[in-house]
Amino acid sequence: MTSNDVLKNLTEYNVWANARVLKSMDRIEGDLPDYAQLMFSHVLNAQAIWIARITGTKSPVTVLQRHTLEELHRLHEQTSPKLVELYANADEAELNRTIDYTNTQGKAYSTKVQDILTHAINHATYHRGQVARELRLAGHEPINSDYVTYVRIQYGQDLEI
């Protein structure tokens, strides 16, 4: 990782962190803890919704739609790398472009693309913490998805766990 571009690093980190959470969920025998499954579904649903807003398309999911583990893998593959792509292909004008949208409560807002991307990653980090807590409460050891762990691995300072 050589770039000082924080948003680029964060979009790439988001792909890594979401993949790690999925890998940890894959290891769970039996049903996933209900709230952990719902919150991780919400993470990926929100990514899909924000992508749809940025691209002017219809979201394929709703905000609290619950997904199976298999569906979570597919939705991650469709959304997490797409956030990286949207940022990588954006010039200054695109990053500063304002998106007009209505939230899930019906309230209208306008937000810049760069702020939406930043929010999507911050939002995912927040809810990954909730997923980790729920996994721990259910007797499972949650995976470390901290940004600093990602950075250490990128620089070869830590082995991937």
Over the stretch 43-77, which tens digit does the pLDDT of each residue have? 999 999 999 999 999 999 999 999 999 999 999 99
127: annotated binding-site residue?
A: yes
Can you tell me the distance from the alpha carbon of 138 to that of 111, in angstroms, rounded to the nearest whole number? 38
- Say what the pLDDT of residue 3 is: 47
What superfamily would CATH give domain 6-155?
dinb family like domain (1.20.120.450)
Q: pTM for the whole thing? A: 0.94
Q: Tens of pLDDT along 85-96? A: 999 999 999 999
67: annotated binding-site residue?
A: no
Token couple for 160: 């991937």
Q: Contact 14/146 with Cβ under 8 angstroms? A: no
Q: Tens of pLDDT along 4-32? A: 599 999 999 999 999 999 999 999 999 99
**What count of other Cβ atoms lies within 10 Å of the Cβ of residue 84?**
17
pLDDT at 161 over 70: no
42: annotated binding-site residue?
A: yes
